[in-house]
């Protein structure tokens, strides 16, 4: 009997058999997944950052929220082409590797390995803070309690996703409905106050553009804050192999979910400003961390959209059930360059230097272990046992 890398006996499977993911996510599940992934604690934190870097200019802040929605839709449409043409798990990593080569793909993976858990931890902590604080009134909630709840949330969601994609989609749907109900209450409340036309409620929007105009670096950082709240528009690509009829569903999911979120976000921000003055809103934590995460994310987004352009010219015969208007992809690359370079050129800060050095630092691992293929048998055993423990296995793809 044959044995695997761990020395365990294995059953020989017919060569025609494949290890593949089941397609269980339809249109409604996809819309729910994308909306639920985008809408999170960010909408309760990012408005403060957008207003801060818009130098309390209400009109510009609302324009930035609208522009962030448009940029997210453009990016999602670019990713939709990649997801339908190359519907492999791994998302951006697979696309960057195919178009731009292993070094840049490895850097993306290196950054994602730290960025995504950090982003998820941030969102979990924000959720815990908002869930616990009402029980303590004006007194600050215990930090230990918030961290324990955040950890429980991360573990719960991790277990659900590991157990069943269908169960995870169901949980996502339930939480999406609850989150949208909460946003609807906030939005409707603001609209009612505006309709009543009280002077103090309308004052925030009078002469909305009369405040100071932000400079280029402030605009970029304001976009970082707004786009953080839209984070997740790319998430459907990670499930491309699990989407039913991806050629049709992926583009339609994107074109439904992102505009819906944009409308809700605009209404929520208008509601915030109906009740609070801009100075009252600018009081949150976490702005610096958001900028750090966004800087890295948008550098990787630029590489992914560049991959789309490269593949268009290098592999013109690749089957593309959906093709985005190519200037949209060029526009996304330009936006990414602006967001990455503007803060560094016009207002250099050490946090961006640290982010860049961290990304380049991934090459210190890539060169010996990937390029020069230095290999340790112990790593194979660790990988094998982790796969057995977590019950995961890479899917078989002829194109990979």
Query: What is the number of other CB atoms lying within 10 angstroms of the CB of residue 55?
Result: 16
Q: Which domain holds residue 51?
A: 27-123+164-342
Is 23:242 a contact under the CB 8 Å cutoff?
A: yes
pLDDT higher than 50, residue 221: yes
**pLDDT tens digits, 45-80:** 788 889 889 988 888 999 999 999 999 999 999 998
Please indicate, yes or no, if residue 67 is contained in any of the structural domains: yes
- CA–CA separation, 372 and 61 (whole Å): 49
Q: Which residues contact 321 (CB under 8 A, 6 or more apart)?
A: 84, 85, 246, 247, 248
Q: What does the DSSP 8-state code read for residue 89?
A: T
- For the CA atoms of 251, 254, 256, 257, the dihedral, rounded to the nearest 10 degrees, stands at 160
In a domain, 394, yes or no: no
Say which residues have a Cβ less than 8 Å from residue 4's Cβ, sequence separation at least 6: 10, 384
- Predicted confidence (pLDDT) per residue in 307-324, tens digit: 999 999 999 999 888 889
pLDDT at residue 14 in the model: 47
Confidence (pTM) = 0.83
Residue 315 domain-assigned? Answer: yes
User: What whole-number distance in Å separates Cα of residue 378 and Cα of residue 370?
Assistant: 16
**Confidence band of 10 (pLDDT split at 50, 70, 90):** very low
Q: Could you tell me which of 289, 303, 31 has the C-alpha nearest to residue 177?
A: 31
Identify the residue with better confidence: 30 or 74. 74
The string of pLDDT tens digits covering residues 160-214 is 877 776 777 788 778 778 888 888 888 888 888 777 766 666 666 666 677 788 8
For residues 370 and 286, the model is more confident at 370
Residues facing residue 399 across a β-bridge = none
Does residue 379 sit within a domain?
no
Distances, alpha carbon 342 to alpha carbons 57, 110, 144, 347, in Å: 20, 24, 38, 8
User: Is 324 within a domain?
Assistant: yes
Across 40-44, 158-162, 243-247, 255-259, the highest mean pLDDT is recorded for 255-259
In a domain, residue 106? The reply is yes
Dihedral angle of Cα 273, 275, 280, 286, to the nearest 10 degrees: -70
**Residue 171 domain-assigned?**
yes
Residue 87 lies in a domain: yes
Residue 11: the pLDDT is 46
User: For the chain, what is the mean pLDDT?
Assistant: 82
pLDDT recorded at residue 117: 84
Confidence check: pLDDT of 148 > 50: yes
Q: What is the pLDDT of residue 197?
A: 67
Domain count, the chain: 1
């Amino acid at each position: 009997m044959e044995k695997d890398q761990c020395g365990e006996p294995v059953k020989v499977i017919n060569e025609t058999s494949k290890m593949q993911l089941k397609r269980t996510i339809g249109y409604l599940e996809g819309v729910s997944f994308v909306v639920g992934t985008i809408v999170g604690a960010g909408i309760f934190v990012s408005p403060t950052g957008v207003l801060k870097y818009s130098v309390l200019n209400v009109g510009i802040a609302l324009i930035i929220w609208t522009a962030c929605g448009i940029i997210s839709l453009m990016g999602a449409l670019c990713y939709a082409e990649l997801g339908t043409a190359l519907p492999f798990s791994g998302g951006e990593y697979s696309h960057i590797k195919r178009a731009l080569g292993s070094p840049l793909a490895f850097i993306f993976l290196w950054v994602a390995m730290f960025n995504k858990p950090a982003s998820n931890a941030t969102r979990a902590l924000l959720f815990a803070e908002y869930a616990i604080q009402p029980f303590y009134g004006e007194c600050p909630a215990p930090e230990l309690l918030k961290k324990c709840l955040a950890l429980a949330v991360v573990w719960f969601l991790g277990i659900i996703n590991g157990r069943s994609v269908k169960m995870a989609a169901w949980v996502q749907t339930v939480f999406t409905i609850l989150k949208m109900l909460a946003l609807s209450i906030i939005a409707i409340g603001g609209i009612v106050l505006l309709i009543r036309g009280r002077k103090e409620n309308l004052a925030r929007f009078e002469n909305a553009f009369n405040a100071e105009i932000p400079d280029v670096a402030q605009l970029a950082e304001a976009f970082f804050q707004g786009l953080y709240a839209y984070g997740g528009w790319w998430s459907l690509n990670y499930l491309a192999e699990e989407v039913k009829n991806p050629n049709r569903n992926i583009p339609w999911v994107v074109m439904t979910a992102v505009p819906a979120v944009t409308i809700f976000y605009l209404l929520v921000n208008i509601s915030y400003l109906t009740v609070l003055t801009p100075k009252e809103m600018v009081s949150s934590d976490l702005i610096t961390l958001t900028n750090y995460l966004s800087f890295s994310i948008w550098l990787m987004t630029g590489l992914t959209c560049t991959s789309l352009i490269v593949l268009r010219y290098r592999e013109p015969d690749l089957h593309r059930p959906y093709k985005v208007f190519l200037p949209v992809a060029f526009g996304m690359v330009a936006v990414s360059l602006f967001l990455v370079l503007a803060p560094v050129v016009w207002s250099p800060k050490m946090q961006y230097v640290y982010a860049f050095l961290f990304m380049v630092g991934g090459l210190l691992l890539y060169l010996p272990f990937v390029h020069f293929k230095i290999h340790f048998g112990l790593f194979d055993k660790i990988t094998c046992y982790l796969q057995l423990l977590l019950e995961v296995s890479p899917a078989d793809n002829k194109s990979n």
